[in-house]
C-alpha cells in the first residue's frame, strides 16, 4: 500500500476518535490507548491493526507488507462504529439507563408501600 494513503486513512480514524471520544495523542496508537475501555474489544483489535499499519507505513518499503484487504476491513469496522457512537449516543444511553433505574425504584417502593398498607389493613 502507498504510505501516504495509509497515513491519510489512519489520520481520518484518529480524528474521529478525537472528536467523538476526546482521545488524546499524535498517532492512532496513542489515541486508541487514551480511549481505554470505552471502545469494545473488537473495535480496539481492529484499531490495533490500523495502528500497526500506520507504524509500518512510515517506511516506504515496509509499507508494502500491509495487507490492503485486512487494512480496509479494519478501517471499515472502526469508522462504522465511530460514526454510530459518539458523545451524543453515550449521553442518550446513560440518560435512558438512569430513567430505567428511577422507574424501577418507583415501582419497587410503590409495591412495598402497597404491601405494607395492605398488611396493616388500611387498604
| 34 and 74 housed in the same domain | yes
| 80 and 111 housed in the same domain | no
Is residue 21 within 8 A of residue 14, CB to CB? The reply is no
Q: Per the structure block, which three cell numbers stand in for 69?
A: 484487504
| 100 and 42 housed in the same domain | no
Q: Closest by alpha carbon to 82, among 123, 122, 112, 44?
A: 44
| 72 and 21 housed in the same domain | yes
Each residue's pLDDT tens digit, 15-69 = 999 988 889 999 999 999 999 888 999 999 999 999 999 999 999 899 999 999 9
pLDDT, residue 26, reads 93
| 61 and 118 housed in the same domain | no
pLDDT, residue 79, reads 95
Each residue's pLDDT tens digit, 73-85 = 999 999 999 998 8
| 104 and 72 housed in the same domain | no
Look up the domain containing 28 and give its range: 1-85
| 60 and 104 housed in the same domain | no
Task: Name the pLDDT band for 7 (thresholds 50, 70, 90).
Answer: very high
Amino acid at each position: 500500500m502507498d504510505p501516504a494513503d495509509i497515513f491519510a486513512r489512519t489520520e481520518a480514524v484518529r480524528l474521529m476518535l478525537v472528536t467523538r471520544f476526546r482521545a488524546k495523542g499524535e498517532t492512532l496508537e496513542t489515541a486508541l490507548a487514551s480511549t481505554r475501555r470505552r471502545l469494545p474489544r473488537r473495535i480496539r483489535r481492529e484499531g490495533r491493526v490500523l495502528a500497526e499499519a500506520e507504524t509500518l507505513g512510515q517506511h516506504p518499503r515496509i509499507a508494502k507488507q500491509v495487507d490492503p484487504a485486512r487494512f480496509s476491513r479494519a478501517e471499515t469496522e472502526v469508522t462504522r462504529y465511530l460514526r454510530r457512537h459518539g458523545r451524543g449516543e453515550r449521553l442518550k444511553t446513560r440518560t435512558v439507563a438512569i430513567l430505567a433505574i428511577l422507574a424501577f425504584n418507583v415501582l419497587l417502593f410503590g409495591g412495598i408501600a402497597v404491601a405494607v398498607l395492605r398488611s396493616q389493613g388500611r387498604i
